[in-house]
Amino acid sequence: MVVLESYRGRRVAVLGLAKSGLAAARSLLAGGAEVQAWDDNPKAREAVVSEFALVNLAEIDWRDVAALVLSPGIPHSYPEPHPAVVRAREAGVEILGDLELLGRAQPDARYIGITGTNGKSTTTALIGHILAEAGARVEVGGNLGTPALSLAPLGRGGTYVLEASSFQLELIPTLAFDIALLLNVTPDHLDRHGSMEAYVTAKRRIFAGQEPGGAAIVGIDDEICRDICGELRRGQPARIIPISVREAATGGVYVESGWLVDAMNGPATRVLELASAERLPGSHNWQNAAAAYAAARSAGIAAEAATAAICSFPGLAHRQELVDTIDGVRYINDSKATNADATEKALACYSDIYWIAGGLPKEGGIAPLKPYFKRVRHAFLIGRATEEFAATLDGSVPFSRCGDLAKALAAAHEQAHRDGVADAVVLLSPACASYDQFANFEQRGDRFRELVAELRAGRAHSA
Ligand code: ADP
């Protein structure tokens, strides 16, 4: 834990008591601050009633409060600010997030920040892996995994690799990243930001305050990021490194004919055939790999060390995670794919797919995936989306109504082994939220893993 000493003896309000808020409250308390904490959810309050002074922050006197630490999930502007935020603003109280507090408590460390609509977690974990493999002192967290203030203190010579959501970026008034990455921007979370413009403004914040020694790494394969890259070129003091999987990005890192190409320093050099990075399948992951490579090089890691670590990356759970291979059939857990967009990335990677799909459907369903249907040998439908997905598949893909994940996996397993095609893949990529049958996508993916382990054990028994 990073102890926040600078608020000793002062009153600090913490609003939102989920993982990151709790970590912040504990760091403040450990550093001698007087913490006043609140969460609108009574269950969240009950869980910490013995630990913190709980007070409704919409009703306190804000005059002598030193700061409001806000969880990224709480609206501070759109659709309307939380009442406590209004009161804090009226009283001129500074409003911060946990990343900002980490930056202030550990000013001598190096900061690598990663944002984008998709690929943040993968890229964050990959950069952490490359740095760790190279022997660097590194801590990885933020929006991914460990909250910022639960990370270890690193001091000079250490590096924090932080995934930053757009909401978190709105809460870092002074933290400047030494190395900042913006992967891509597509419409998302407009419910929270109100407009695309506000969302883009939040994402751009990743590059604020950068200095000449720093690096601004930008994906240029979507129009919005390409524009941002153009703007950065007109005044960003940090070095700008464009990333592309579509074109030869001058001065950047790009992918050409399946090779990672480093053109950061003079002549373009092919540094890695990306097919050898087994846990980073698909061109979306190549974008992540190219960006991570650029970040690692900017952090002083040698090219060979960076590419070797890209190949040894174990991958993240629930994102096209290879769970097992049983008699030549691969079992892949892509439970994180909660919409058609994410599932498209997985379908594009394989050719003989036994596809487990369904759950709580999103608007548009799986109709956008029609171009990939020819890769699907059979679909195994689960959850509330069953009839809607059945109607979309009807006539182009054979399907079964399976009800739940256990039955779907048993049926997919059975059929994949019966068909005996080379390269068969049993793929859980639901294109749906999980809430009709699971607490979250993690639980759904964990269940898939357990069930595959049972299949493997069954094979061992019958062998
Ligand atoms: P995030 O943390 O931004 O949600 P993840 O790394 O967890 O991103 O990946 C989530 C899903 O997004 C993956 O399962 C994949 O389908 C898709 N994805 C990953 N990287 C990219 C990318 N660079 N571009 C587009 N989609 C991506």
Question: Closest by alpha carbon to 21, among 35, 32, 6?
Answer: 35
Number of neighbouring beta carbons within 10 Å of residue 369: 25
Map residue 351 onto helix, strand or coil. coil
C-beta 118 within 6 A of ligand 1 = yes
Residue nearest to atom 9 of ligand 1 (CA): 119
Map residue 26 onto helix, strand or coil. helix
pLDDT in tens, 168-203: 999 999 999 999 999 999 876 556 667 888 888 889
* pLDDT above 80: residue 77: no
Please give the pLDDT value at position 460. Answer: 59
Share of the chain above pLDDT 70, in %: 98
**What is the pLDDT averaged over residues 343-362?**
96
Between CA 431 and CA 441 the distance in angstroms is 11
Q: Domains plus CATH for the chain?
A: 11-96 (3.40.50.720), 101-312 (3.40.1190.10), 321-462 (3.90.190.20)
Question: Using 50, 70 and 90 to split pLDDT, how confident is the model at 93?
Answer: very high
C-beta 342 within 6 A of ligand 1 = yes
Q: Which of 284, 350, 434 to mutate to test the pocket of ligand 1 (most atoms within 8 A of CB)?
A: 284
Please give the pLDDT value at position 75. Answer: 79
**What is the pLDDT averaged over residues 113-135?**
96
* pLDDT above 80: residue 321: yes
- φ/ψ (deg, to 5) at 135: 90, 10
Residue 71 · residue 142 · CB < 8 Å: no
Please provide the size of the chain in residues: 463
CA 401, 404, 405, 410 torsion-angle sign: negative
CA of 290 to the centre of ligand 1 (A): 14
Read off the DSSP letter of residue 176.
-
CA of 30 to the centre of ligand 1 (A): 36
Between CA 440 and CA 40 the distance in angstroms is 21
| Summary mean pLDDT of the chain | 94
**What is the pLDDT averaged over residues 76-105?**
93
Question: Closest by alpha carbon to 359, among 281, 443, 257, 293?
Answer: 443
pLDDT in tens, 269-298: 999 999 999 999 999 999 999 999 999 999
Contacts of 215 (CB under 8 A, 6+ apart): 178, 179, 180, 238, 239, 240, 241, 294, 295, 298
**What is the pLDDT averaged over residues 40-63?**
94
- Answering whether pTM is above 0.85, one says yes
* pLDDT above 80: residue 359: yes
C-beta 431 within 6 A of ligand 1 = no
- Tokens representing 345 are 């990335």
Residue 208 · residue 113 · CB < 8 Å: no
Share of the chain above pLDDT 90, in %: 90
On the CB side of 176, how many CA atoms lie within 13 Å of its CA?
Answer: 14
Residue nearest to atom 11 of ligand 1 (CA): 342
* pLDDT above 60: residue 462: no
**What is the pLDDT averaged over residues 205-215?**
97
Question: Closest by alpha carbon to 98, among 149, 57, 143?
Answer: 149
C-beta 318 within 6 A of ligand 1 = no
Q: Which residues lie across from 37 on neighbouring strands?
A: 14, 54
Active site amino acids: 120, 143, 189
- φ/ψ (deg, to 5) at 5: -85, -25
Nearest ligand 1 atom to alpha carbon 318: 14
The answer to whether the bond into 79 is cis (omega within 30° of 0) is yes
SS (H, E, C) 201-222: HHHHHHHCCCCCCCEEEEECCC
**What is the pLDDT averaged over residues 401-430?**
97
CA of 122 to the centre of ligand 1 (A): 7
Contacts of 219 (CB under 8 A, 6+ apart): 116, 182, 183, 184, 225, 242, 243, 244, 287, 291
Number of neighbouring beta carbons within 10 Å of residue 56: 12
* pLDDT above 70: residue 86: yes
Relative to beta strand 269-273, strand 110-115 is unpaired
